[in-house]
Amino acid sequence: MPKSEGEQPYIAILIIVVFVAVGMATLMLAKHIARIEGNAVLVALLLIPVFLYLTITGKLDELKITSGGVSVRALRKSVSNVSDKVTEIGEYEEERSTYLGKLSQILKQAELLKEETPFCLIYADVDGLRLHSREIFLDERHQGLLTSKRRSEAKIRKETIDELDFALADAFCGEEERTQKNKKYDIFHLREPDITMIARHLNAKEAKAVAEQSQTLFKDRTGCTATIAIVSSHEDTRPRELDKIGLERLSRGKKHQRGDIYTVTLYL
């Protein structure tokens, strides 16, 4: 019966322990009975368990012993893939940590000042972003534009998200002028969703007006729609919980009806 991947390292370690014991016994025999001296013997015996572990766990591609020494090609590409994934996750978490840190700062300031500072979180995601960027990319290639002048799909996606950023900012400033209040906002570009806005001194009704206006501006400028979820600061006092509510609400919105606005009253 084949062993699972979880059991494999333990079996490898058990085998290594056995070989270390045998290696130490061999070393004692070599030094005291066969009278073999030199650090090379000790180093070789100590490296054997390492090579065995890499071989058993499938992480050693090639081992060559020649007159000129030992040549090792260890650790398959899967290891580098894991490293790349860890780096990607680290960057993603850093972006979200910055956002959650700002959110925590706003909540703490309100608590210290013992005043209620209402704000809303606006989670916005471009509908069909990858399909949109693909169509534009193929269209530019079909037009025969030089490679140097053609935009990559990644750049097209970034520019589209930037347009959503501008639309939200413009809509927020318009709402500020209409209500004549000193409002502030912070915008973050995340992996999920595309954009998160902390709209300070804004209630749910005002936040919805900002969302509606931004959708109109965004569609006029790009032809795309955006699904938007709104979370009120009254729903929770913990940044991660507020973020969780926003992500869940946006996910439900994208499944039910894209291009619409999902406010605090829909899923409570």
For the ranges 26-30, 73-77, 95-99, 140-144, the lowest mean pLDDT is seen at 73-77
Q: Say whether pLDDT at 40 is over 80.
A: no
User: What percentage of the chain's residues is helix, strand, coil (to nearest 5)?
Assistant: 60, 15, 25
Whole-number Å distance between alpha carbons of 207 and 201: 10
pLDDT of residue 203: 86
Whole-number Å distance between alpha carbons of 212 and 168: 9
pLDDT of residue 140: 83
Which is more confidently placed, 97 or 64? 97
Mean pLDDT calculated for residue range 209-216: 92
Q: Assign residue 208 a region (left: φ > 0; alpha: ψ between -120 and 50; beta: otherwise).
A: alpha
Per-residue confidence band for 84, with pLDDT thresholds at 50, 70 and 90: very low
Mean residue pLDDT across the chain: 76
Q: Record the pTM.
A: 0.62
Per-residue confidence band for 259, with pLDDT thresholds at 50, 70 and 90: confident
What is the number of other CB atoms lying within 10 angstroms of the CB of residue 261?
A: 22
Domains of the chain: 8-75 (no CATH), 100-262 (3.30.70.270)
Mean pLDDT calculated for residue range 113-125: 82
DSSP 76-129: -HHHHHHHHHHHHHHHHHHHHHHHHHHHHHHHHHHHHTT----EEEEEEEETTH
Q: Say whether pLDDT at 110 is over 90.
A: no
Three-state DSSP state, 170: helix
Contacts of 259 (CB under 8 A, 6+ apart): 127, 215, 225, 226, 227
Q: What are the φ and ψ backbone dihedral angles of 236, each rounded to 5 degrees?
A: -165, 160
For the ranges 109-118, 162-171, 257-266, the lowest mean pLDDT is seen at 257-266
Whole-number Å distance between alpha carbons of 120 and 233: 6
Whole-number Å distance between alpha carbons of 25 and 193: 60
pLDDT in tens, 141-183: 888 766 667 889 999 999 999 999 999 999 999 877 766 566 7
Which is more confidently placed, 158 or 87? 158
Q: Say whether pLDDT at 43 is over 80.
A: no
Q: Say whether pLDDT at 240 is over 70.
A: yes
Q: Assign residue 38 a region (left: φ > 0; alpha: ψ between -120 and 50; beta: otherwise).
A: left
For the ranges 95-104, 128-137, 172-181, the lowest mean pLDDT is seen at 172-181
Per-residue confidence band for 256, with pLDDT thresholds at 50, 70 and 90: confident
pLDDT of residue 230: 93
Q: Say whether pLDDT at 66 is over 90.
A: no
Which is more confidently placed, 202 or 187? 187
